[in-house]
């Protein structure tokens, strides 16, 4: 199951030394975000124990979205030890996420 990231705990959730983290920036009113939900859940299951996979609702957690310059959703960031290593904007096929994750594992 995908994690739920929040402003208050985001930095500690993706801190240095925490390995690879995938963050889906989304909102409930965003159709492409909703459509991407099952893919994010599948990635969380597929990479359990290897990659931290989670979602951050931009309406409820605007600070983190602003910190990373999120202007469009869905935006998916891959962070390695807290640093952005990949940014995917818009609904993408699962293979795009698999390729991005495997490149940084």
User: Catalytic positions, please?
Assistant: 30, 33
Q: How many CB atoms sit inside 10 A of residue 48's CB?
A: 11
How far is Cα 99 from Cα 94, in angstroms, rounded to an integer?
Answer: 9
For 98, phi and psi rounded to 5 degrees? -60, -45
């Amino acid at each position: 199951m995908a994690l739920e990231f929040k402003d208050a705990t985001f930095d500690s959730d993706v801190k240095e030394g925490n390995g690879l983290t995938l963050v889906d920036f989304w909102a409930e009113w965003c159709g492409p975000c909703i459509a991407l939900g099952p893919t994010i859940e599948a990635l969380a299951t597929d990479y359990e124990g290897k990659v931290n996979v989670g979602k951050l609702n931009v309406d409820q957690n605007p600070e983190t979205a602003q910190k990373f310059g999120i202007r469009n959703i869905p935006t998916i960031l891959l962070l390695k030890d807290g640093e952005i290593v990949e940014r995917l904007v818009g609904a993408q096929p699962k293979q795009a996420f698999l390729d991005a994750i495997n490149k940084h594992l």
